[in-house]
Amino acid sequence: MRKSQQEQMDCNTLLITSLNSGSNGNCYYVGNDEEAILIDAGISCKETEIRMKRLGLSMHKVKALFISHEHSDHIRGVCVMARKYNIPVYVTPGTLLNCKFNKIKTEQIHHLRSFETITVGSLNITGLPKVHDAAEPHSFIIACGDTKVGVFTDLGVVCEELIRHFKQCDAAFLEANYDEDMLHNGRYPYFLKKRISGGQGHLSNKQALDLFLEHKPAHMTHLLLSHLSKDNNSPELVQTLFETHAGDIKIIVASRYIETPVFSIGATAISNVIAETSQLDLLDQLISYPSAG
């Protein structure tokens, strides 16, 4: 009885962390006790290893890399990491054409197609098309049993796919790239302001907040605001903005400089069941074998 509940917990619990988030590099870890994947490898392999070690995570559990798009802040560490650990790399054909992955063995590279689910152990990863100024950009949903985590960054607009899948997530990495006033009044040239906010670039705090307020599901427990601009946003501003409306949902701002802690998603309900069962079992044993106590 207890074993099957333990198995159920393994199958429903996802461990997640942002190893870095922002225009200087993106790398998101999603896994369980057995295996893990990385969404993007935008910091160096060495730095990824250092940060994972600090969190007690092992690169040897990472069984696949999934690439969202070809911008350098998402692929900088891919070649070294894929070669060093002999990990398969999942990438859309359009993204692959725009990446220089020629140092990776051909058999390590796998084509990713929209809405196709890739199974890595007990993790199911689905790529979703998104709007961004890249060849064939994708968001990702990672599921383990009933638990779902979304990775939604580098989005020009809140599209139907984003809404449909955000609604299903227990936890999500969601882009909150810029504060509209800070971008508008800031020092960026006009063309860059337009590139960021013109529907092919990044989500503003307001766009992300509107999505959150209108579509957050009742079972969501964690929201990790991601890919914050260094010049046109502030972590404190984002934290306050979302926390005001978050209720019981934990709000975390993913840093441009350091990893977040590891968060356990989808575990609470089952853990409580196991804790309760353990107490009942203990009581049962005391009643059955009073001399043992």
- Closer CB to Zn ion, residue 80 or residue 135? 135
Residue whose C-alpha is closest to residue 82's, from 41, 52, 25: 41
- Closer CB to Zn ion, residue 71 or residue 148? 71
- Closer CB to Zn ion, residue 71 or residue 130? 71
In the complex, least distance from residue 153 CB atom to Zn ion, rounded to whole angstroms = 6
For 201, phi and psi rounded to 5 degrees? Answer: -105, -100
Q: Which residue sits closest to Zn ion, CB atoms considered?
A: 71
In the complex, least distance from residue 193 CB atom to Zn ion, rounded to whole angstroms = 16
In the complex, least distance from residue 25 CB atom to Zn ion, rounded to whole angstroms = 9
- Closer CB to Zn ion, residue 154 or residue 161? 154
Residue whose C-alpha is closest to residue 40's, from 121, 122, 95: 95
In the complex, least distance from residue 75 CB atom to Zn ion, rounded to whole angstroms = 10
CA–CA separation, 252 and 225 (whole Å): 6
- Closer CB to Zn ion, residue 216 or residue 227? 227
- Closer CB to Zn ion, residue 71 or residue 76? 71
- Closer CB to Zn ion, residue 88 or residue 137? 137
In the complex, least distance from residue 197 CB atom to Zn ion, rounded to whole angstroms = 14
Which residues of this protein are in contact with Zn ion, per CB under 5 A?
71, 73, 154
CB 159 within 8 A of CB 191: no
In the complex, least distance from residue 223 CB atom to Zn ion, rounded to whole angstroms = 19
Q: 174: which strand partners?
A: 152, 225
Rounded (10°) angle between helices 2-12 and 268-288? 170
In the complex, least distance from residue 69 CB atom to Zn ion, rounded to whole angstroms = 6
Nearby residues of 123 by Cβ (< 8 Å), 6 or more positions away: 30, 31, 32, 35, 36, 37, 142, 143, 144
